[in-house]
Structure 1
């Protein structure tokens, strides 16, 4: 169950689709938009919402392809554009678009959605908190801080990277811990979980939310194409994982943005998902010998995801008048599941950056 009985969900009709939106706090409160990551829902923000002040209006939608939001296909050729446009439509419906009042916090993929929203609808946000975000060059297939592609077809990224047995069990809503290497419960616990705070979260509620993930070529993981390059797969044009393939997704232009809003980047030192040695990145897996035939670090090293994010934010801070607008917070010993592991710490950073 949610951490607070005040954190409830309802359907909101927007110009683009019907969205299931988790909310708490007063309608006239300071608006805080919380965007979840891959394989999760707005419900995962319940523990952060419970830590925010009573005068904060929390808005945490289920993004397209997740939760109870409309089952509408995802066009990956726009990067995370379908999802960021959905969020913009939600803010329009709530009368919050274009007013620079909203503090946005995005976790993992949700951080990528907010990066694209900042580029395409910069007046929607008054402040931004990136929580263990996807790199500005997406996930997989790039080799350096400039986002250079390892291969022209962006091989080693996209929808073909998901383990088929995990996808099958996700589709079948398998709640068991049998064969932990493909168990949705175990993988979520291990990589997206609450860590030392596990006793204070409801795993059954969180697993139920995760198992609402739509599965298929238009959703998770998406389609893929064969490739002559290692590991013999390249991104397709549909579905979630392809939205973050580097041939479709690139928000590095934030380095030249003069949006003038404060940005805080919060990440954990033990993150194994969005990190410089992600356990879901083919460069890392090849180096470890988990995927045979790795062409070597001179061709496809582990993607330097954190270094890429740091370089983007350094560029943003270098723009005139923005030198004091970027803050980096690395939490020692904390992994990827920050909204579950350190909800109070995230709430502190959100409150600290919110427009006054």
Structure 2
């Protein structure tokens, strides 16, 4: 592990793995995790891919700014390219799960020439996700937790219930916990107990411009969805646990049209936290894709 200062104003905790001369990839985790999301996958790719695996700002052992504005999309994407520059990467792949996937999708949509390819694990394309939140009631219902996480009283409620209970509700309910060690659980609880950690993590939701209507709300599509977003020019590989209860299979409808070269690898019997539940399958899908130069 290293501590990497960035010109974006934060210091990230970063795990490094793989040969220095292998094709490089930056791996981005989601909520409510850290670089630990990827440890089992990294173990399976360590001979083929140069891996840079940060705790994203607000998570794990990285800095955790308390202002919502510190988690704007522009800032989150800027962190990733600043990290790439700090590690002297001219061209690299991005791999993202959950919120990390949201950052990776955005970077690819913007077409930065430093990005060579994009791999996604259970993270929806932003336009498909926003449309589904308006038009698909099942997805809208499954996403009401986002509004709960945006509530300024959320931190107080978690303090009242206790962090072990929050672990059960936010994480253990969606993953086979036999795949986690006691050390994994203890580290997540320790990360969340750091001063300001909960606020930092929830600020990802509070800063997001994604509209999540109430179930009885008659909502219209935001203008940016109506206009459409740029097609992705780099190769894209989407790995998707089909038993995801938070991000339903509707997220795969139209996914092949978001870029010029999109492949989908569905994983039957696997839920949202695929890197924990099926590291062999995830590594098998990602390895041949990421090791291409």
Identify the residue that residue 215 of structure 1 maps to in structure 2. Answer: 198
Q: Which runs of 5+ in 1 are unaligned?
A: 1-8, 177-181, 222-238, 276-305
How far did 1:31 drift?
1.0
Normalised TM-score (structure 1): 0.66
Identify the residue that residue 52 of structure 1 maps to in structure 2. Answer: 45
Query: Residue deviations 1:202-228, cap 9 Å, x none?
Result: 143245235524122xx232xxxxxxx
SS in 2 for 1:272: coil
Identify the residue that residue 104 of structure 2 maps to in structure 1. Answer: 114
Are the equivalent residues in 2 in contact too, given 1:80–1:112 (CA < 8 A)? no
Q: Decide which of 244, 251, 271 is 1:271's aligned counterpart.
A: 244
Normalised TM-score (structure 2): 0.78
Identify the residue that residue 65 of structure 1 maps to in structure 2. Answer: 58
SS in 2 for 1:105: strand
Q: Which runs of 5+ in 2 are unaligned?
A: 213-221
Are the equivalent residues in 1 in contact too, given 2:31–2:98 (CA < 8 A)? yes
The more displaced of 204-213 and 135-144 is: 135-144
SS in 2 for 1:143: helix
Are the equivalent residues in 2 in contact too, given 1:258–1:316 (CA < 8 A)? yes
Identify the residue that residue 93 of structure 2 maps to in structure 1. Answer: 103
1:307–1:347 CA distance, 2 compared to 1 (3 A)? same
Identify the residue that residue 269 of structure 2 maps to in structure 1. Answer: 333
Are the equivalent residues in 2 in contact too, given 1:109–1:134 (CA < 8 A)? no
1:25 and 2:18 aligned: yes
1:13 and 2:5 aligned: yes
How far did 1:48 drift?
0.6
Query: Residue deviations 1:83-134, cap 9 Å, x none?
Result: 21111110111111xx3x3221100111101011113352232111110004
Are the equivalent residues in 2 in contact too, given 1:76–1:240 (CA < 8 A)? no
Are the equivalent residues in 1 in contact too, given 2:42–2:51 (CA < 8 A)? yes
How far did 1:250 drift?
9.8
Identify the residue that residue 167 of structure 2 maps to in structure 1. Answer: 184
Aligned residues: 273
Aligned-partner Cα distance in 2 for 1:253–1:240: 24
Are the equivalent residues in 2 in contact too, given 1:106–1:129 (CA < 8 A)? yes
1:144 and 2:139 aligned: no
